[in-house]
Chain A
Amino acid sequence: MTAVITPPAAKPQTPAKRAGRRSGIAPPWLFAAPALVVYALVMLYPSIVGAGSAFTDWSGVGEQRSFVGLANFQQLIHDDQALGAIRNTLLLTAAIVVVQTGLGLLLALGVHTTIKSRMILRVIFFAPMVVSPVMVAFLWKYVYNPAPDAGLNAALNAVGLGALRQDWLGNPSIAIWSVAFTVIWQCAGYSMVIFLAGLEGVPQELHESAMVDGAGTAARFRHITWPLLAPALTINVMLSTVGGLTLFTQIIAMTNGGPGYATDTLSTVLYKQAFVFGKFGYSTAVALVLALFVAAVSFIQLAYLRSRETAA
């Protein structure tokens, strides 16, 4: 008896694998290479070179610069303006994350119904998001006109709430909340869209079976909708946190950090240090601290929220 041994047929190779073998680079990296090169050139290289300025006294123009070690970081610790800006940044971020996310969820639940106007309402709520933040800031400057017969003050007066009229952007105790409201007004629709996407993915069968078991609206939201919205909540909280911590455009356009230092944030401080005070080195130190802070907060948030998603 003769046994005939035939070699196993060679597996047909995909074109991508063949190309990868020729170049010695695995296909995923090959595909990513153009984007990585661009990213390295326009993001990584300038960032790394720029970070070096944090250890110098460079003014931002000219060639003169000296190495000053950690002096810029030591100055940051003792800089009352920067410390006030950190406080403002945290206050703004907290307000934006809580209110924008909450409002976005309410809007999403409101338009995730069978009412006829739901599509129009979705467009209306999302519309501010497609307007430039600078334009929004200038529009709201008109709304916040401090004159008693203009903008929001006039509206309050017209409905008998004249006692609530304020110098919305000129009062140091109120200005920061006026800016926060503007940001929330613009971005709540964005949060709504993310929550809507999450709501679309909640299986209707779960709601139907819960209803059969006698669960009411609140119980179904608590035990079905809310846990299943965990990924949408993760993204919303992450995006609004990063947006709040790095908020710049609306502040510069509406208050320029004032009155006094009442609405200065780390972003406006680093901008002023670089372009107004001519202290690019110190500004870069502030930027590095801000970047590390945002990264740390984002990492902690992501770890917590993803653990919550898994639990759900």
Chain B
Amino acid sequence: MASEIIRTPFSRRRLLQLMGGAAAAGALASCGGGNSSGGSSGPLKVIGAGSQEAGLRKALDEYKKQNGSFEFNLSFSPADQLQTALRAQLAAGNAPDLHAVYPGNGSAMSMVQLSKANLLADLSEQAWTQKIPAGFKGAYQQDGKTHIFSPGTSVLGAIYNKKAFAKAGVEIPTTWSELLTVCETLKKKGIIPLALGAQTPWVTQLINYALVPGTVYAKQPDFDDKMAAGSETFAGSGWADAMNKYLELQKRGFFNDNPNGTTYEQATSMVGTGKAAMAVQVSAVLQAYRAAAPSPDDLGMFPLPATDVAADNWIPGGIVVGLGVSAKSKKADEARKFLEFCGQPEQINAWAEAVACVPLYSEGEAKVDPVLKPFLPYLADDKAVPFMDQRWPNAEVQPTHFAVVQELLGGKTTVEGALKKMDDAYKKTA
């Protein structure tokens, strides 16, 4: 009886009907997006990764200047959102004509994964592809065909605030022990030695990437081949040494408080303003750090030493995120022409300079950002290792790496447990 009384002014059915209508309206609205890149006319649709912006925008503007009728529609996405949006478009068959692609393998938006699904156009006929060094062919090519354009190599090391170093009276360290001493001195001076924004997933991997060339690859240059053959594991290799060193930095209090709750942007600000002295980062984000500093000259970069043996301190140097032409694009020829233009030596140089990377090749002296000069001898001496994920066999190892580092920093797992999870992910099929 009582329920009947209440039903008169308040009907559950009516409310559910309204909600159903709203849901249908939402579904219809979400389906009404349309595809702006479907036709052969109209602007070239380009989606890049955030870290490409300075170089890609410059190249497109220059190309338009030389080809007056060329029109483009350019947008960018942060790395974490890129693969979601792009993969959805690729799955739906309405990918942009030209889009960001990660070199090598190891991510769902990597060149190998996409070319295996026949989603990338073949660029092998372009002149610049002949200049790809033998050691980097795995980053650009699958089954002998080139599927990605990338302007060159990004290096990974410590971005540091020169004023903070001067205030603490410390010099650039060249061995692991020296690094610990420098961090201790900075800490005593009230400066955070290392800013770490581990809430941003991709940032979690960088310290391991900086250490592993020294703890693994300097002793076993063929480590990736052994992993692929199943004769090596993360847990049984120098990866354990690298992760223990990562944890040592935390245990000694060399990171900012609560790194798991700190974002990449917050860590960038810490170094830019001198609140923190260093952050382990890729050179491609130097522009963001410079933007956070009072003056761009406040910042420098050096290779992070992983061992006490100078000869073993190799560096990570990977091909930067590039561009691929959608195999289903109706403007594939136009997109290819643009990449052919980007592959010219002066354009590669300009792009590489804009994103602080070492150009893929150069005719004459390459224009390299001066802060990268400490890294050039390592590249010349073949002591650079591609970013590790570029040779991992599936897209699951890298996110697992992100997660286990956060667990390590949060005290929820051990080095052994973390590396076992990475080994388990590695063994899964592509």
B134 close to A (CB within 8 Å): no
How near does chain B come to A189, taking the closest CB pair, in angstroms?
16
B87 close to A (CB within 8 Å): yes
Contacts of B31 in A (CB 8 A): 42
A202 close to B (CB within 8 Å): yes
Given contacts A170-B410, A172-B410, A258-B199, contact A43 B27 (CB under 8 A): yes
Q: With CB as the reference atom, state the residue of chain A lying closest to B410.
A: A172
B8 touches A60 (CB 8 A): no
Contacts of A45 in B (CB 8 A): none
B3 touches A310 (CB 8 A): yes
State A64–B201 Cα separation when bound (angstroms).
30
State A238–B95 Cα separation when bound (angstroms).
39
How near does chain B come to A263, taking the closest CB pair, in angstroms?
11
Stretch at the interface among A5-13, A94-102, A121-129, A272-280: A272-280
How near does chain A come to B409, taking the closest CB pair, in angstroms?
7
State A87–B27 Cα separation when bound (angstroms).
30
A35 close to B (CB within 8 Å): yes
Of residues 215 through 268 on chain B, the ones whose CB sits less than 8 Å from some CB of chain A are: 257-263, 266
Q: With CB as the reference atom, state the residue of chain A lying closest to B406.
A: A259
Contact among A38, A167, A232, A274 with B24 in the assembled complex (CB-CB below 8 Å): A38
B394 touches A260 (CB 8 A): no
A260 touches B413 (CB 8 A): yes
B404 touches A168 (CB 8 A): no
A61 touches B117 (CB 8 A): yes
Q: With CB as the reference atom, state the residue of chain A lying closest to B1.
A: A312
Contacts of B306 in A (CB 8 A): none
Chain B binding surface, main DSSP class? helix
Of residues 76 through 126 on chain B, the ones whose CB sits less than 8 Å from some CB of chain A are: 80, 83-84, 87-88, 90-91, 108, 113-114, 116-119
Stretch at the interface among A108-116, A140-148, A179-187, A284-292: A140-148
State A194–B118 Cα separation when bound (angstroms).
52
How near does chain B come to A311, taking the closest CB pair, in angstroms?
9
A277 touches B6 (CB 8 A): no
B399 close to A (CB within 8 Å): yes
How near does chain A come to B25, taking the closest CB pair, in angstroms?
10
How near does chain A come to B257, taking the closest CB pair, in angstroms?
6
A278 touches B409 (CB 8 A): no
B395 close to A (CB within 8 Å): yes
B5 touches A276 (CB 8 A): no
A39 close to B (CB within 8 Å): yes
Stretch at the interface among B9-17, B142-150, B356-364: B9-17
A201 touches B8 (CB 8 A): yes
B87 touches A275 (CB 8 A): yes
How near does chain A come to B96, taking the closest CB pair, in angstroms?
14
A 151-169 to B, binary, CB cutoff 8 A, 1 in contact else 0: 0000000000000000111
Please indicate which of the listed interface residues A194, A277, A279 has the most CB atoms of chain B within 10 Å of its own CB: A277
B380 close to A (CB within 8 Å): no
User: Could you name 19 residue pairs across A and B whose Cβ atoms are closer than 8 Å?
Assistant: A42-B31, A60-B87, A61-B117, A62-B116, A62-B119, A170-B261, A170-B262, A172-B411, A231-B12, A257-B403, A258-B199, A259-B406, A262-B410, A275-B84, A276-B108, A276-B399, A277-B108, A278-B394, A309-B3
Of residues 36 through 95 on chain A, the ones whose CB sits less than 8 Å from some CB of chain B are: 38-39, 42-43, 59-64
Given contacts A43-B27, A61-B117, contact A146 B261 (CB under 8 A): yes
Interface residue tally on A, bucketed by range = 35 or more
Chain A binding surface, main DSSP class? loop
State A59–B109 Cα separation when bound (angstroms).
11
How near does chain A come to B252, taking the closest CB pair, in angstroms?
18
A27 close to B (CB within 8 Å): no
Contacts of A275 in B (CB 8 A): 83-84, 87-88, 108
How near does chain A come to B271, taking the closest CB pair, in angstroms?
15
A200 close to B (CB within 8 Å): yes
B2 touches A312 (CB 8 A): yes
Contacts of B28 in A (CB 8 A): 38, 42
How near does chain A come to B285, taking the closest CB pair, in angstroms?
19
B340 close to A (CB within 8 Å): no
State A259–B410 Cα separation when bound (angstroms).
7
B7 close to A (CB within 8 Å): yes
How near does chain A come to B132, taking the closest CB pair, in angstroms?
25
How near does chain A come to B242, taking the closest CB pair, in angstroms?
18
B395 touches A277 (CB 8 A): yes
B10 touches A146 (CB 8 A): no
How near does chain A come to B77, taking the closest CB pair, in angstroms?
13
B 362-391 to A, binary, CB cutoff 8 A, 1 in contact else 0: 000000000000000000000000000000
B407 close to A (CB within 8 Å): yes
State A241–B382 Cα separation when bound (angstroms).
58
A171 close to B (CB within 8 Å): yes
A61 touches B5 (CB 8 A): no
A258 touches B406 (CB 8 A): yes
